[in-house]
Amino acid sequence: MTLTFLSQQWKAFWRSQNKGKSLAMRIVMGILVLYLLLNVLFVAFFMDKILMKTFPDQDILQTFNSFIIYYFLMDLIMRFQLQELPTLSIRPYLHLPISKNQIVNYLSITSLATAFNLTPFLLTIPFLVKVLIPQHGLGAFWGYMGCILGLTLFNHFFSLWLKRKVNLNAFWMLAFFGLLLIIWALEFYFNLISLSNISKDFFNTIISESYICVIAILLAVVMFMINHSYLKSNLYLDELQTSKTSVKSSTEIPYLDRFGVVGDLAANELKLILRNKRPRSVLMMCIMFMFYGLIFYNNPKYDGYGHIVFCGMFMTGIFIINYGQFMFSWQSAHFDGILSSRIQPEDFFKSKFLLFDVFSTFCFLLTIPYVYFGWKVLIVHFVMYVWNLGVNTILVLYFANQNYKRIDLTKGGSFNWEGVGASQWILSIPLMITPFLIYLPLSYFDYPEVGLAAIAIIGIISIFSREFWLRKLVSIFRSKRYAIAEGFRNQ
Amino acid sequence: MQRALEINSMIEIKDLQKIYNGVRVVNIPELNIRTGETVGLIGNNGAGKTTLFRMMLDLIRPDKGEILSKDKNVAQSNDWKNYTTSYLDEGFLIDYLTPEEYFYFTGSLFKLSKAHIDSELTNYTEFFNGEILNRGKYIRDLSKGNQAKVGVVASLMQEPELLMLDEPFANIDPSTQIRLKKMVKDLSAKKRITTIISSHDLNHVTEVCERILLMEKGKIIKDIATNSNTLQELEEYFSVLS
């Protein structure tokens, strides 16, 4: 049965309408993963050297032992963030005479194929072969392997189980991170427990009594059973669908009301962002980016304006860049409705500008505290804010007209390549380069202030000539509208 | 005489063709829909009904020919949007809004105030059957039938001059079907709204529409004014065709 599922999944992939795109994406992703694994291998081969350098007065095996538990904690957090739930679209199978055990087994087994399960072995085997076997022999080695296998599988099924729980109720996520926080506090703040000692003691026992590794394997088996029975008892359509229905209220955004239809459109888009998973995660990214400056401004190595221009553009324009690059795909599900309704294309574009203006202003206000690093930071931020409003808005909307890729709003954001196409890659080039094309030559000849002024002036001119650009954008939109709508209809 | 006829026509199709992969999915040399007519569009799956709707709404580009709405080409002028409303499928709904928000939004495009829409909505209380308004749900959480209700009411409420509905009777329950028929009939009788409805239900279409267009493989092969024999005639056609 598992084989039948596999072959049907295989067909689903190869026969999907946009197979070319997803294949290319998978190859890119594959290369990326391969590269990361190579890095892991590199670390693994030189682990003994690295440990020796970092902790010169300790036995390297002891250091290694004390780190294992931290590694698996990190692994758990990483998995929680990045690992995907296995998705067999099970809906068509539930009503057929296929036992739930078979479906659940399929979900469990296929989920194992992830790089997360490979890394622990790649990372430890070379080290163990080099250091452990010569000292303590093969028995200890197999003991370690058993433990690592057990902990890896435990992490695997625990994170799947937790993710499913969190999907139904976000409280579980709080509980999980709360627990981690308590452990952290107990260890580093109150010094009541020491995970490194626990880890060290446990693996030292393994060295002498390698059969103890059964404990770790048992842990994994128990976790597997928990996950299995949880999945099995929840294999109902209504329960697999996420979101316990809470009452949704109709919110109004009074500020936007004064802009008429344009304001209504912008308010709708704001609701789009707040009420759907993928754009919400984009918004979270934007908030994270507000800390971007700390990386550079703290570092005395950077002086001059170049890095502030870069950071300032990203921090004040992150919404334009991050959200705007997928326009109008966000609205792909109801694009037919937009085209056939009484919305004028001019108003449609004006609402985008309004949205960009509001968010960029907000971002600029949030970056004001960076004035701590000097007034020039604030001034450059303002210049880049003007640049973003003037130039980048138009640039992003120009590329939005070339974007025909549908996006499913309900899917999560991380490692989601849906809707990513050539237009995003091409867009990033002018977005990154143009301000530097203006700034760098002038700063090279020692007129950085003139460079900044040039950026500001171009930004201001663009803002004041928006009407002109708007008409251009609308006329391109008119000629591209069939192609965009057609692309969005392809699920 | 010729002149008078032109003024009276709401939709005029000339030599319209749409070709996908070498197959002519729509091929209509000439079609006139007069103002105030209630037209039913029927035909088996793949006959080209939805494609025709989409071309009339300027969502896809015809390969040949043109569609005039009040004498203006729909692909070149936006005027038709001021008097046309439509509901083809869920792609017309903004599914992350609540139904109320959606009604207010579409109403605002026609400059209708919230108060006006609230009072309009009371007319549809029966039609909604308590399942749409004030339920605290987004449109995406409604059932297919209820989504269709939202879409249909949103397009009726604007009091358009031209109304297009693609299979409005599908997915909705029998009582609602009957109410919908009554609503459409009333609208066309009292306000002379031009209506184009497609359906697979021959009973409903013959009951509501005064003119039936029968499509097959992209062509309109029958154009009949409805009378007491029409239903039988259509049933005979479809039973032979299979």
Which comes out higher in pLDDT, residue A416 or B61? Answer: B61
Contact B94 A275 (CB under 8 A): no
Strands B194-198 and B38-42: parallel
> Can the peptide bond before residue A488 be classed as cis, meaning omega within 30 degrees of 0?
no
Contact A340 B91 (CB under 8 A): no
Which residue in chain A is spatially nearest to B92 when comparing CA positions? A337
Which residue in chain A is spatially nearest to B80 when comparing CA positions? A342
Q: From chain A, pick out residues whose CB is under 8 angstroms from the CB of B60.
A: 482, 485-486
Name the DSSP class of A331. G
Tell whether B92 lies on the interface with A, counting CB pairs under 8 A.
yes
Q: What single string gives the DSSP state of each residue in A369-432? A: GGGGG-HHHHHHHHHHHHHIIIIIHHHHHHHHTT------TTS-STT--TT--HHHHHHHHHHH
pLDDT exceeds cutoff 70 at A90: no
Q: From chain A, pick out residues whose CB is under 8 angstroms from the CB of B101.
A: 250, 271
pLDDT exceeds cutoff 80 at A227: yes
pLDDT exceeds cutoff 80 at B147: yes
Suggest the residue from B88, B93, B109 to mutate for an interface test with chain A (most A CBs closer than 10 A): B109
Q: What's chain A's average pLDDT?
A: 84
pLDDT of residue A250: 61
* Out of A3-12, A206-215, A431-440, B72-81, least confident range: A3-12
Which residue in chain B is spatially nearest to A262 when comparing CA positions? B109
With bands split at pLDDT 50, 70 and 90, how would you rate the model's confidence at A319? Answer: very high
CA distance B126 to chain A (A): 22
Percent of chain B whose pLDDT exceeds 90: 52
Bridge partner list, B26: B18
Q: From chain A, pick out residues whose CB is under 8 angstroms from the CB of B83.
A: none
Contacts A–B by Cβ distance under 8 A: 77
Contact B96 A249 (CB under 8 A): no
Contact B95 A343 (CB under 8 A): no
Contact A343 B109 (CB under 8 A): yes
Strand, coil or helix: A114: coil
Which comes out higher in pLDDT, residue A174 or A157? Answer: A157
Stretch B214-232: mean pLDDT, rounded?
91
| H helices present in chain B, as ranges | 2-8, 49-56, 99-109, 114-122, 125-128, 144-157, 174-191, 202-208, 230-241
From the list A272, A342, A485, the residue facing B82 with the nearest CB is A342
Q: From chain A, pick out residues whose CB is under 8 angstroms from the CB of B137.
A: 245, 248
CB atoms near residue A335 (< 10 Å): 23
CB atoms near residue B54 (< 10 Å): 25
Stretch B185-206: mean pLDDT, rounded?
89
Residue B88 and residue B53 in contact, taking contact as beta carbons nearer than 8 Å: yes
Q: From chain B, pick out residues whose CB is under 8 angstroms from the CB of A246.
A: 136
Contact B138 A248 (CB under 8 A): yes
Q: From chain B, pick out residues whose CB is under 8 angstroms from the CB of A342.
A: 81-82, 109-110
CA distance B223 to chain A (A): 27
Q: What are phi and psi of A194, to 5 degrees?
A: -135, 105
From the list B84, B86, B97, the residue facing A271 with the nearest CB is B97
Contact A261 B96 (CB under 8 A): no
Contact B60 A486 (CB under 8 A): yes
Give the CA-trace dihedral at B170, B173, B176, B181, to 10 degrees: 40
Burial of A373 per CB tally in 10 Å (0-12, 13-18, 19+): middle
pLDDT of residue B26: 93
With bands split at pLDDT 50, 70 and 90, how would you rate the model's confidence at A149? Answer: very high
Suggest the residue from A272, A273, A342, A408 to mutate for an interface test with chain B (most B CBs closer than 10 A): A342
Which comes out higher in pLDDT, residue A239 or B228? Answer: B228
Which amino acid, one-letter code, is at A450? Answer: V
A151 CB-near residues (< 8 Å, 6+ apart): A68, A72, A120, A216, A219, A220
The alpha carbon of B231 is separated from its chain's Cα centroid by a whole number of angstroms, namely 20
* Out of A33-37, A357-361, A481-485, B68-72, least confident range: A33-37
pLDDT of residue B3: 46
pLDDT of residue A248: 63
The secondary structure element, H or E, covering residue B26 is strand B23-34
The answer to whether the pTM exceeds 0.90 is no
With bands split at pLDDT 50, 70 and 90, how would you rate the model's confidence at A415? Answer: low
Give the full edge-to-edge strand order of the sheet including B38-42: B84-87, B162-166, B194-198, B38-42, B211-216, B219-225
With bands split at pLDDT 50, 70 and 90, how would you rate the model's confidence at A482? Answer: very high
Q: pLDDT tens digit string along A100-116?
A: 787 788 778 878 878 78
Percent of chain A whose pLDDT exceeds 70: 90
pLDDT of residue A242: 45
Q: What's chain B's average pLDDT?
A: 89
Tell whether B136 lies on the interface with A, counting CB pairs under 8 A.
yes
Q: From chain A, pick out residues whose CB is under 8 angstroms from the CB of B84.
A: 340
Burial of B133 per CB tally in 10 Å (0-12, 13-18, 19+): middle
CA distance A279 to chain B (A): 12
pLDDT of residue A291: 84
Contact A344 B108 (CB under 8 A): no
CA distance A161 to chain B (A): 26
Q: Which two tokens stand for residue B39?
A: 């037209």
String of b and e for B93-131 (b: at least 16 CB within 10 Å)? bbbbbbbbbbbbbbbbbbebeeeebeebbeebeebbeee
CA distance A335 to chain B (A): 7
**Rounded distance, CA B84 to CA B67, Å?**
14
Q: Which two tokens stand for residue A34?
A: 């391969």
The alpha carbon of B81 is separated from its chain's Cα centroid by a whole number of angstroms, namely 14
A432 CB-near residues (< 8 Å, 6+ apart): none
How many helices (H) and strands (E) would you count in chain A?
24, 0
Contact A334 B94 (CB under 8 A): yes
Q: pLDDT tens digit string along A240-278?
A: 544 444 566 666 667 777 788 898 899 999 989 988 888
Nearest to B38 by CA among B151, B184, B223: B184
Angle A292-A298-A299 from CA coordinates, rounded to 5°: 105
Tell whether B152 lies on the interface with A, counting CB pairs under 8 A.
no
Stretch A227-231: mean pLDDT, rounded?
87
pLDDT of residue A320: 93
Q: From chain A, pick out residues whose CB is under 8 angstroms from the CB of B89.
A: 336
pLDDT of residue A183: 87
Q: pLDDT tens digit string along A366-376?
A: 998 888 888 88
Strand, coil or helix: B203: helix
pLDDT of residue A245: 47
With bands split at pLDDT 50, 70 and 90, how would you rate the model's confidence at B241? Answer: low
Q: pLDDT tens digit string along B41-95?
A: 999 988 999 999 999 998 888 999 999 999 999 988 888 988 999 999 888 898 8
Tell whether B26 lies on the interface with A, counting CB pairs under 8 A.
no
Q: From chain B, pick out residues whose CB is under 8 angstroms from the CB of A248.
A: 98, 136-138, 141
A307 CB-near residues (< 8 Å, 6+ apart): A296
Percent of chain A whose pLDDT exceeds 90: 27
pLDDT of residue A147: 92
From the list A245, A261, A336, the residue facing B141 with the nearest CB is A245
**Rounded distance, CA B96 to CA B138, Å?**
6
Interface ipTM above 0.85: no
Tell whether B106 lies on the interface with A, counting CB pairs under 8 A.
yes
Angle A216-A222-A223 from CA coordinates, rounded to 5°: 90
CB atoms near residue A78 (< 10 Å): 14
Q: From chain A, pick out residues whose CB is under 8 angstroms from the CB of B90.
A: 333
Strand, coil or helix: B141: helix
Q: From chain A, pick out residues whose CB is under 8 angstroms from the CB of B92.
A: 334, 336-337, 340
